[in-house]
Chains A and B, each alone.
Chain A
Amino acid sequence: MVKWARAACSIVLGLVMAGSALAAAPKKVEVTFWHAMGGGNIAFIERMVADFNFTHPQIEVKAEYKGSYRDTLNATILAHRQKKSPHMVHIFEVGTQMALDSGIFTPFAQGLEASALRDLEDYIPPVANYYTINGQFNSIPWNSSNPVLYYNKDIFRKAGLDPENPPKTYGEIMKAAEQIVRSKAAVKGITWPLHSWFVEQWISMQGALLANNENGRAGRATETHLDSPAMMRTATWWKELYDKGLYAYSGKPEDWDGANKLFVSGQTGMLITSTSDVTFHQAAAFENGYALGTGPLPAPDGMERNGVVVGGASIWMTRDKSPEEMEAARTFLLWLTNTENGVRWHKGTGYFPVRTSSCDVVKNQGWFEKNPAYTAAFEQLLSTRVNRASQGALLGPFPEIRTIITDAMQQILSGTPVEKALKEADTRADKALQDYNRSVK
């Protein structure tokens, strides 16, 4: 009986709600949001959007998963050609210059009221820094990450290393890796995916630039600095690690899973990868029964740590929409990344919150005592200096230049002299940059 009554009640309620929704339908502002968060994150985002729509009866947000970052950007450009572009698009950091040049987006901060502008100051400076272009808050940072060192405390103990004190410099990594291999605690010392992203991080760590015109931030970049001393230092160290049999990788470029597998299976004692994998590695350590430690991204010896470039992606707004729709999109984006949702986002996905206030909440809740692996990521982020180097480069053909850098590193590992490979990469990247710049003029 009770069951029946309950069912009847819910049906009536549903009808009433549907009725009111129908009645309110003409007033609702509909905005679409295309994102590139796959896997379990799709459901998480759906839930957040449903919450927003429930608490904002005037607005109806429709979120759609559009595949990879590249697919999402490509789909947006094609939709724009047919005048059907979405209101909000999720774009990866290396697509920033390309998205700017496409001319189909508008800066987030444009036309924002003073109080809302003040609200933007709550975004963590190094994060906001990346997405500030021409002095304007351009897009809303959402899923941000940077690289940290993960290490297996059990292997450290076996090798006679201090499990509570991870290596922090190039030299210390070399020594720790040597000790791990010599003591046979693991087959290899360290692994990280062979990916340009890490090279870019180490350039920033040394306070160096990847391209001219202040990393393409003061004006359009016309030349890359792929053969700079900072690049040489990093490549030489990497090659030495590899030549001594201390560095392992799957042999395939950009193989994130391959690096994770090597570390989780205990073949290496250390791993450098994105902070967005903290949740995965905590679970993997628990399942495989080893103790996980994290530390900051190692920096060259005797140099001051400048900090990391905040990777990940942000949400852009497209132009040529009605003022009501723009307003609705802004409301949604600020809501999506507000203090409370930042905390929820961090705990649900492992990406760190993008607001200082969210960080404070997480800290006060004693989250780090329960999840110490997150500490390194937060400390590294909050201690990053805000300057052109850590702001990251803006390059139109960044995806192509990434492939060029990855190629060069692979050549270096397989025997090409460091200087020759980097010089060649520099020439290739300059050519790509010039071709691109010519095509957008």
Chain B
Amino acid sequence: MLRGGWIQSPLCMERCMNISTPFSSNRWLGLLFLLPTLLILVMFLYGPILETLRLSFHQVAFLGLREEFCGLGNYRDLFFEPGYRRMFQATLIFTFFTVTGGMGLGLLLALLVHGVKGGRGFYRLFLIWPYALSPAVAGVIFLFLFSNQVGLVNAGLDALFGRHPDWLASPALAMTVVVGAAIWKNIGYNLIFYLAALSSLPRDVLEAARMDGAGHVMRLLRVFLPLLAPMTLFLLVVNLMYAVFDVFPVVDLITKGGPSDATLLMIYSLYRDGFEFLKTGSAAAQSVLLLGAVAFLTLVKFRTYGRGIHYGGRQ
């Protein structure tokens, strides 16, 4: 009943407003109200987007003191230069492991917390905690944990096994650390969404499964996962966006894209080209690619999010 009420109320409000506002017929007044927002959007969003697009077709020197049209030259470099190919490769590897790892662990922890009888609030609080930290803090924590000589992890490994690997100097290990930091930072987000989804699963289905004698594994594979699919789809999109766009501080603080570009993610490469190497044209081309990706993901997100909500509300 309650749930039904939740869904009903916004619809009602919409309907009421349509009927009662005398201004709704006045198009110009509406536009006037929109004007401040439009102005801000044009100045800070649409304008810069167009400018970025324009710059991506130019070879730019000294932040725009000199510009020369070069057609698709910047894009050609992006796709055919070995340096950039390594960047795409690193971005793909990072994204894959961060998304699957983050969602897998999030689901696992959510199932465990969901199954706990007492102290669920306690577990929930502490598992969500990392999400409340800023990515910069997460970066610094991992930097200190995995520092070669003064890090806590190596102190432990040294005491137990007499080994202290160069975490940040080997490409594979450095990528592991960066992925680990990114997953750790975002795990609370996945956890809380999965917990919410779990607690709103239809009880009759779960009970039926239990009565039919389905074991833990069977229930997970045949009941939980299919029922959670809409939430998983939504989280997949959000995690993808996180892995591609929000990890700049983690990379900047832990590896700076090293060793030898092994953790050079696109978002970091863009910054480095734009503000450290002053290759504005190339940086613009990279942000256009990222813009395309974010636009696509946002579209998918809006669609899947709508579906996710319908699911829970169906009686």
Contacts and interface: CB of A to CB of B under 8 A. Distances in A.
B83 interface: yes
Residue among A78, A414, A428 facing the most chain B CB atoms (10 A cut-off): A414
A400 B277 CA distance: 6
B62 A414 contact: no
B276 interface: yes
Nearest to B77: A435
Interface stretch (A20-28, A136-144, A246-254): A246-254
Given A187-B149, A439-B59, A254 B256 contact: yes
Nearest to A421: B260
Interface string B234-266: 000000000000000000001110111100000
B171 A414 contact: yes
A399 to B, nearest CB: 6
A78 B280 CA distance: 13
Interface string A388-415: 0000000001011001001110110110
A439 B260 contact: no
Contacts of B279: 400, 435
Contacts of A253: 256, 258-259
A413 B272 CA distance: 23
B182 interface: no
A267 interface: yes
A62 B197 CA distance: 60
A364 interface: no
B277 A251 contact: no
For this complex, into which size category does the number of interface residues on chain B fall? 35 or more
B63 interface: yes
Given A77-B63, A249-B169, A250-B148, A407 B254 contact: no
B27 interface: no
Interface residues of A, number: 43
Contact of A439 (B61, B149, B256): B61
A101 interface: yes
B284 to A, nearest CB: 14
Given A81-B65, A101-B62, A251 B147 contact: yes
A413 B261 CA distance: 14
B61 A262 contact: no
A267 B150 contact: yes
B63 to A, nearest CB: 5
A266 B60 CA distance: 48
A98 B64 CA distance: 13
Contacts of A438: 59
B167 A262 contact: no
Contact of B62 (A70, A77, A187, A406): A77
A251 B168 contact: yes
Contact of B256 (A249, A252, A265): A252
Interface string A67-107: 00010001001101100000000000000001001111000
Contacts of A74: 63, 275, 278
A225 interface: no
A261 interface: yes
Interface in B264-303: 272, 275-279
Interface of B: 59-66, 68, 83, 143, 146-150, 166-171, 174, 254-256, 258-261, 272, 275-279
13 contacts: A74-B275, A74-B278, A78-B63, A81-B64, A250-B147, A251-B147, A252-B143, A407-B258, A407-B259, A407-B261, A408-B260, A414-B260, A440-B66
